Structure 1
Amino acid sequence: MGVYKMKGDRLLKVLLAVLMCLVIGNPFYAQAAITLTSNATGTYDGYYYELWKDYGNATMTIDTGGRFSCQWSNVNDVLFRTGKKLNTPWNQLGTVRITYSAIYNPNGNSYLCIYGWSTNPLVEFYIVESWGTWRPPGATSLGTVTIDGGTYDIYRTTRVNQPSIVGTATFYQYWSVRTSKRTSGTVTVTDHFRAWAAKGLNLGTIDQITLCVEGYQNSGYANMTQHTFTIGSSSGSTPIPTPTPTPTPAPTSTSIPAFTTTRVECENMSLSGPYASRITNPVNGIALYANGDRATTNINFAASGNYTFKLRGCGNNNNLASVDLLIDGRKVGSFYYQGTYPWEAPIQNVYVSAGSHRVEIVVSADNGTWDVYADYLLIQ
């Protein structure tokens, strides 16, 4: 009996050893997939992952090589993504490419996209490859760019007091949206960064770049069957320009002779506020995006009297937009715009005494649904 027991123990040990060799030597057993049903972040097989939802039902199964599948229902907003966490200025990344293949079945509003964040400035960005029933982002295109054989519209939108990677904040969103849908291919992410910068939409330090599925107030299913993320040397490619901040001049001083019309170019005014910037499209002037954005100049009025102020500008969509006119810090009226065609919005019968006064145009009623582009200010 003792000899039999010894042989049995040896046989068991041999079988266990063979089994361990099979497990260790077979990559199928190297790392089992993980499944998430609530908000979570982490790293799996060298890829950063995140499931974020505000409420509803969501399941994300993460596999090796950045692949994942997901399904959702009864949600308000949900994002599933895998990619890379970074801490590198966008113009020092080298060439970032994502090659992907997906089975994508949304029932309603959803995006299949490359998604990420920048800090300093805080920017949420999307490269949208396919979508559900609604093509984002519902704004006026700043122009198109051809990358990787596809045509994309470029947009910038603003989010006011919304969730972000640094908490509740107001920030820009940059968008490249394909004019035709696809569910597989290669995205040269860095080329989109360059295209945005060429239109004045500069990023800062890249926090993350991910392959993402987002669902909004709907249900759906997706399976990322391929996700290959590469960062190559930028040598031999077009150098990425280093963003040059636009200098803000001191408030200008303009003299208005009596009984004449004076034109003040908005781009020559002093800018302040969280997002105010100079633009060349759709007008050669300035963009005011959020509350507190303003342009200021000093004007010397030769005579006391009632003046008419006209601000040529437009909105970025069909929502009603407004800009206040302040003289020496006192609001005297508002300019209103609806639509994307520039016009001279008037404020009439504004009494101004002779002498030098601080004139400002200021956004104070922004609700996150519009922006204003201003060309010039006429004073008559």
Structure 2
Amino acid sequence: MRFKKFLKVLIAVLMCFVLGNPFYAQAAITLTSNASGTYDGYYYELWKDSGNTTMTVDTGGRFSCQWSNINNALFRTGKKFSTAWNQLGTVKITYSATYNPNGNSYLCIYGWSRNPLVEFYIVESWGTWRPPGATSLGTVTIDGGTYDIYKTTRVNQPSIEGTTTFDQYWSVRTSKRTSGTVTVTDHFKAWAAKGLNLGTIDQITLCVEGYQSSGSANITQNTFSITNDSTGGGSTTPTTTKVECENMSLSGQYASKISSPFSGVALYANNDKAYYTQYFANSTHTFSLRGCSSNSNRAAVDLRIGGTKVGTFYFTGTTPTVQTLSNISHPTGNQTIELVVTSDNGTWDVYLDYLEIK
């Protein structure tokens, strides 16, 4: 049975090389000098003005980095936008990191706004110095943590629009952490309440920055979720969180990413799974999963929340469909969401596109 599964995966991989489709395995890329691009659905960038840097970009927005003898260096992966901040919906990032700064450094959510041009930071941890060395405009409590809000100005400094003068907006935690969920939009709202308005969001990233220091970091999770509510209007209708399966973490002997019949993941055998961490403010939600079977046999994938099975999605046939589990009760707070195969009998595989939570 296992040999047959192995053989199927091997054949699929060989087809990838021969035909370029449908299965692929992406190798991590390593950067040592200034570069940017897109990898596995995430924007990445290494920027420095001098010194020694290495950045290895992996799937799912994960990356590792090292720096020494630098003046200033930033390593980041995230998402690019061209949308007004209050039209994005609610943006959340769930992350985890091993962070080892030696000197001045930040572990943060980092990005840029245009019109007005603003560089912004949500600082989760730091090295020997807590930024930004200004007077706090007040505090806000978001995601269970307290943050100081600051505004600073950079004069004739590098930016996404060249060397110019621009403002910086800051939320800096009063205590350090290296994992958790950041509701980015709540920080945007808190800044706006202080008169610190953003414009069109250019990028939101998980970032490690070093300044005249050395260190290393390993980002082991970087999961974005965006709900479709209007953050400016305060929608009263249920919000929807959509998470692409290819942006989830994978485990199991055969689990892999696919590009056909959609960009997603394939689960081939028992204990193959895709998973990520989701923050829940409420204890009841409806879960919808788009996917299909590899053939005419019925495929099944369990939904686990916090380690507990709460239901099973079933897919029959190779045409992608959306299957729904309604009014599922579960714990609140940060919970691990798992899509896992447990009833494989060797006659089917399951392909998964995205999960929506309402």
The alignment status of 1:239 with 2:230, answered yes or no, reads: no
Residue 65 of structure 1 aligns to a residue in which SS?
helix
- 1:173-212 equivalences in 2 (<5 Å): 173-212=168-207
Partner AA of 2:119 in structure 1 = E
- Per the alignment, residue 289 of structure 2 pairs with none
Contact 2:12/2:23, CA 8 A, preserved across alignment? no
Q: Aligned partners of 2:166 and 2:194: how far apart in 1?
A: 17
Partner AA of 1:122 in structure 2 = L
Distance 1:78 1:70, change over 3 A: same
- 1:95-106 equivalences in 2 (<5 Å): 95-106=90-101
Residue 38 of structure 1 aligns to a residue in which SS?
coil
The alignment status of 1:30 with 2:25, answered yes or no, reads: yes
- Per the alignment, residue 295 of structure 1 pairs with none
Runs of 4+ in 1 over 2 A off after TM superposition: 16-25, 237-241
Partner AA of 1:21 in structure 2 = A
Q: Deviations over 1:48-82 (max 9, x none)?
A: 00000001000000000000000000000000000
Q: Aligned partners of 2:51 and 2:132: how far apart in 1?
A: 23
- Per the alignment, residue 316 of structure 2 pairs with none
Contact 1:24/1:30, CA 8 A, preserved across alignment? no
Shift of 1:19: 4.3
Root-mean-square deviation (CA, aligned residues, Å) is: 2.3
Q: Aligned partners of 1:84 and 1:191: how far apart in 2?
A: 18
Contact 2:86/2:232, CA 8 A, preserved across alignment? no
- Per the alignment, residue 58 of structure 1 pairs with 53
Q: Aligned partners of 1:24 and 1:118: how far apart in 2?
A: 43
Higher relative contact order (CA 8 A, sep 6+): 2
Shift of 1:186: 0.2
Q: Aligned partners of 1:229 and 1:24: how far apart in 2?
A: 31
Shift of 1:233: 1.5
Q: Aligned partners of 1:206 and 1:18: how far apart in 2?
A: 41
- Higher gyration radius (CA): 1
- 1:201-350 equivalences in 2 (<5 Å): 201-234=196-229, 239=233
Contact 1:96/1:230, CA 8 A, preserved across alignment? yes
Contact 1:117/1:207, CA 8 A, preserved across alignment? yes
Contact 1:194/1:240, CA 8 A, preserved across alignment? no
Contact 2:115/2:200, CA 8 A, preserved across alignment? yes
The alignment status of 1:87 with 2:73, answered yes or no, reads: no
Q: Deviations over 1:248-284 (max 9, x none)?
A: xxxxxxxxxxxxxxxxxxxxxxxxxxxxxxxxxxxxx
Partner AA of 2:63 in structure 1 = F
Shift of 1:163: 0.3
The alignment of Structure 1 onto Structure 2 pairs a total of residues equal to 225
Q: Aligned partners of 1:24 and 1:96: how far apart in 2?
A: 37
The alignment status of 1:133 with 2:128, answered yes or no, reads: yes
Q: Aligned partners of 2:109 and 2:131: how far apart in 1?
A: 14
The alignment status of 1:154 with 2:154, answered yes or no, reads: no
Q: Aligned partners of 1:218 and 1:79: how far apart in 2?
A: 12
Contact 1:117/1:125, CA 8 A, preserved across alignment? yes
Shift of 1:21: 2.6
Contact 2:112/2:202, CA 8 A, preserved across alignment? yes
Q: Aligned partners of 2:61 and 2:122: how far apart in 1?
A: 18
Residue 116 of structure 2 aligns to a residue in which SS?
coil
Q: Aligned partners of 2:114 and 2:24: how far apart in 1?
A: 39
Partner AA of 1:88 in structure 2 = T
- Per the alignment, residue 273 of structure 2 pairs with none
Q: Any gaps of 5 or more consecutive residues in structure 2?
A: 1-6, 17-21, 236-358
Shift of 1:231: 1.1
- Per the alignment, residue 269 of structure 2 pairs with none
Shift of 1:29: 6.0
Shift of 1:230: 1.3
The alignment status of 1:172 with 2:167, answered yes or no, reads: yes
Q: Deviations over 1:125-165 (max 9, x none)?
A: 00000000000000000000000000000000000000000
Contact 1:23/1:30, CA 8 A, preserved across alignment? no
Provide the identity percentage: 83
- Per the alignment, residue 12 of structure 2 pairs with 21
- Per the alignment, residue 39 of structure 1 pairs with 34
Q: Any gaps of 5 or more consecutive residues in structure 1?
A: 1-15, 242-380
